[in-house]
């Protein structure tokens, strides 16, 4: 008799994902129809019945009778097979935030000589340890278990004096042990590989100088620089080249005995220095910092200064102390400090402590659960989630309080949400009423509604927060992306309305002039000089210099807040390299020899800076004042002239006439009648005392120049 062949059923539970606080989605491989009556959930307390089972082909949705217990590992059981329940989409739900949002101020380390407390937010973790190391390079340390507290916060108290002890958190999440650096760490070792328990008092400078109050809200002239670029040159007289301390040195001079470094910033007369990123970042190996280079738009830790600018990146205190010394030194010169901060993305998000602690929470996902990449660098930070918003606000507040920072430039601010930026402003203003906040309001394709993001089109929802004026920039020099396209200063007949609007502080876009950040050059894209060379490749350098000075003069004399890129005042070039974020020093260096060679241009820009600071007519505080006092008297593609009139109540100059001639020929402008005029800016010369008086009823404005005269 022939034996009947036995058949086997092949069951496999591929995955079980917690997608809401009471819903598990199971992916099944099964040869036969799925039985709805054979499902259950188990954990350490035993078996838990399910409320509802829905089968859709090979996907099964299991409804739990109660919200999921995140504090322990749980499993789905089907016909003797088990599958671990992994929290996935649930961490991005409102219900999850309601359960676990923590508004305390004690995350990270709270140190004193007798006891150190540590706290970390990790609600999906089921176990947590802290590992303590005697030195930063130790591979083995002492392990101490943490206890789970409310809102998913894990805590431990270490009795005794733990100052100088290094530590990592060891988190057990999704059935995997991972060692992570505290995302709220305040002290780090080389490359941020371990955090240190430290005493902030040991990093204080000898004195924090007192800043004089600003005369008005928009009494700001921003000068953007990169610490390494500005200090690395061999001929600047600076000892600590490429370091925080390089910017603290006084009395430094170049080969021609002209002041450099800190003294040059004072000499130039700017009010605010904006530092390219100094939050700890991952794109430079701090152990090889002499040869590695990067701008630093790759944040790894929100609360700690970058180690590659410290004299000793291995010392947990060094970078903090030296950065504070830099801020204090600038404050001593009455120069305020702006940090360029990067909260829109993190460096290698898969390796970030935040994602390892709470997988799937801190980064933005698309509707099909793929990582959002509007930034173009691999990930978008989910600022709209409460704990992501909290770490941004906590970091900003910390930099203001601990490091006395005066302002923040938000990289790709358009990725961040409006509510976060509002709360950032509120928190920062409580600690420094003169805080300056601005950023890039570009509309990028991130997975969050544009009407809820801090893009320039939503500027009126963000009163008091500034935006870079890219249309004004492109109107002046030509399209940033169409590199041979000209702008106003290089002969274009387009964009006249945008340029005039920019000169008036872009009043159609904002609620106040301080929101208009006017610029023609920054670290991004071609320098103005390199752009002009692309537009006019065979033009004489003398003519290019005139175009260049005209563009900078327009920025400095316009209503709003002027922004200057370091070296713009002496025709800085990056030798045609458009994106020099990781180029060698010879591309990025602040060239003091070139600064000396073009000293006359430096003097011209310096005088315009002084003029702006001395005369409130160039920086009116409200749009009502601009509407009352700013009158356009000529608007043509080659020449724009305007009259700042009736300034008796705000300026000792009652009437100011400003003319920008972008043509290749002299322009004749008829002056308002019944007034006599004295000239302060004409051609290549700018002066704080009159150059001459006008003896007729018209001004003759040389080609490619700015002309400023004042009524007697």
Residues annotated as catalytic are 411, 440
Give the Cα separation of 477 and 552 in Å (integer).
10
Q: Are 54 and 104 in contact (CB under 8 A)?
A: no
What are the CB-based long-range contacts (under 8 Å, 24+) for 133-136? 133/165, 133/166, 133/167, 133/168, 133/194, 134/165, 134/166, 135/166, 136/166, 136/189, 136/190, 136/193, 136/194, 136/196, 136/314, 136/316
Q: Are 471 and 508 in contact (CB under 8 A)?
A: no
Give the Cα separation of 233 and 254 in Å (integer).
10
Phi, psi of 171, deg, nearest 5: -110, 135
Q: What share of the chain is helix, strand, coil (3-state, %, to 5)?
A: 30, 25, 45
CA distances 80 to 11, 14, 77, 86, 101, Å, are: 10, 14, 6, 19, 37
**Three-state SS for 567?**
coil
Helix (H) / strand (E) containing 546: helix 541-557
In the DSSP assignment, the letter for residue 279 is B
Q: What is the per-residue burial (b if ≥16 Cβ within 10 Å, else e) of 418-444? A: bebbbbbbebbeeebeebbbbbbbeeb
Helix (H) / strand (E) containing 273: strand 272-275
Give the Cα separation of 33 and 20 in Å (integer).
26
For the chain, the C-alpha Rg in angstroms (whole number) is 30
Helices (H), 598-654: 599-614, 623-629
Reference 389, options 358, 421, 359; nearest CA is 421
CA distances 686 to 89, 476, 596, 705, Å, are: 62, 21, 18, 11
Reference 463, options 398, 511, 424, 508; nearest CA is 511
**Three-state SS for 105?**
coil
Helices (H), 296-384: 318-332, 353-357
**Residue 205 structure tokens:** 């400078």
Give the Cα separation of 190 and 454 in Å (integer).
34
Q: E strands within 164-211?
A: 166-173, 176-180, 195-196
């Amino acid at each position: 008799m022939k034996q009947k062949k036995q058949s086997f059923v092949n069951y496999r539970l591929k995955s079980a994902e917690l997608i809401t606080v009471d819903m598990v989605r199971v992916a099944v491989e099964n040869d036969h129809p799925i039985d709805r009556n054979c499902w259950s959930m188990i954990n350490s307390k035993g078996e838990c019945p399910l409320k509802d089972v829905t089968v859709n082909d090979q996907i099964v949705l299991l409804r739990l009778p109660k919200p999921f217990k995140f504090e322990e590992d749980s499993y789905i059981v089907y016909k003797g097979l088990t599958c671990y329940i992994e929290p996935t989409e649930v961490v991005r739900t409102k219900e999850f935030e309601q359960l676990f949002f923590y508004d305390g101020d004690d995350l990270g380390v709270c140190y004193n000589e007798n006891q150190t407390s540590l706290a970390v937010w990790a609600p999906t973790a089921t176990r947590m340890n802290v590992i303590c190391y005697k030195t930063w390079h130790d591979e083995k340390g002492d392990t101490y278990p943490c206890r789970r507290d409310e809102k998913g916060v894990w805590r431990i108290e270490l009795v005794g004096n733990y100052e100088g002890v290094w530590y990592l958190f060891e988190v057990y999440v999704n059935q995997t042990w991972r060692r992570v650096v505290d995302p709220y760490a305040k002290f780090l070792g080389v490359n941020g590989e371990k955090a240190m328990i430290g005493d902030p008092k040991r990093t204080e400078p000898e004195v924090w100088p007192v800043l004089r109050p600003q005369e008005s809200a928009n009494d700001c002239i921003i000068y953007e620089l990169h610490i390494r670029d500005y200090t690395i040159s061999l001929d600047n007289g600076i000892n600590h080249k490429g370091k925080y301390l390089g910017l603290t040195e006084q009395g430094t001079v170049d080969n021609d005995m002209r002041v450099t470094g800190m003294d040059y910033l004072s000499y130039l007369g700017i009010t605010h220095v904006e530092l390219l990123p100094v939050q700890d970042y991952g794109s430079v190996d701090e152990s090889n910092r002499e040869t590695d280079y990067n701008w630093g738009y790759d944040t790894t830790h929100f609360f700690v200064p970058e180690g590659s600018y410290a004299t000793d990146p291995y010392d947990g205190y060094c970078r903090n102390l030296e950065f504070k010394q830099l801020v204090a030194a600038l404050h001593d010169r009455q120069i305020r400090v702006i940090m360029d901060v990067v909260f829109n993305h993190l460096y290698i998000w898969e390796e970030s402590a935040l994602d390892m602690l709470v997988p799937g929470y801190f980064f933005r996902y698309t509707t099909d659960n793929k990582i959002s990449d509007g930034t173009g660098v691999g990930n978008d930070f989910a600022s709209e989630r409460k704990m992501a918003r909290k770490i941004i606000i906590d970091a900003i507040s910390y930099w203001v309080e601990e490091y006395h920072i005066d302002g923040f430039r938000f990289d790709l601010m358009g990725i961040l949400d409006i509510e976060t930026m509002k709360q950032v402003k509120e928190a920062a203003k409580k600690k420094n009423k003169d805080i300056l906040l601005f950023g890039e309001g570009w509309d990028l394709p991130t997975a969050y509604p544009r009407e809820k993001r801090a893009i320039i089109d939503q500027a009126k929802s963000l009163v008091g927060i500034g935006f870079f004026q890219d249309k004004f920039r492109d109107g002046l020099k030509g399209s940033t992306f169409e590199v041979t396209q000209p702008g106003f200063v290089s002969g274009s007949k387009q964009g006249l309305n945008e340029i005039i609007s920019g000169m008036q502080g872009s009043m159609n876009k904002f609620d106040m002039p301080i929101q208009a950040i006017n610029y023609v050059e920054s670290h991004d894209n071609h320098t103005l000089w390199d752009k002009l060379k692309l537009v006019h490749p065979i033009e004489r350098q003398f003519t290019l210099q005139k175009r260049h000075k005209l563009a900078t003069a327009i920025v400095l004399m316009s209503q709003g807040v002027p922004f200057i890129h370091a070296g713009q005042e002496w025709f800085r070039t990056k030798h045609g390299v458009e994106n020099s974020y990781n180029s060698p020093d010879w591309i990025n260096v602040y060239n003091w020899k070139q600064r000396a060679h073009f000293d006359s241009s430096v003097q011209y820009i310096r005088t315009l800076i002084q003029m702006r600071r001395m005369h409130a007519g160039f920086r009116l505080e409200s749009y009502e004042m601009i509407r009352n006092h700013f009158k356009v008297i000529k608007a043509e593609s080659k020449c724009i002239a305007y009259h700042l009139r009736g300034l008796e109540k705000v300026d000792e100059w009652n009437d100011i006439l400003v003319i920008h001639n972008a043509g290749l020929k002299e322009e004749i402008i008829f002056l308002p009648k019944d007034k006599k005029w004295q000239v302060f800016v004409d051609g290549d010369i700018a002066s704080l005392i009159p150059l001459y008086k006008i003896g007729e009823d018209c001004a003759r404005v040389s080609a490619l120049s700015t002309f400023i005269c004042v009524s007697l």
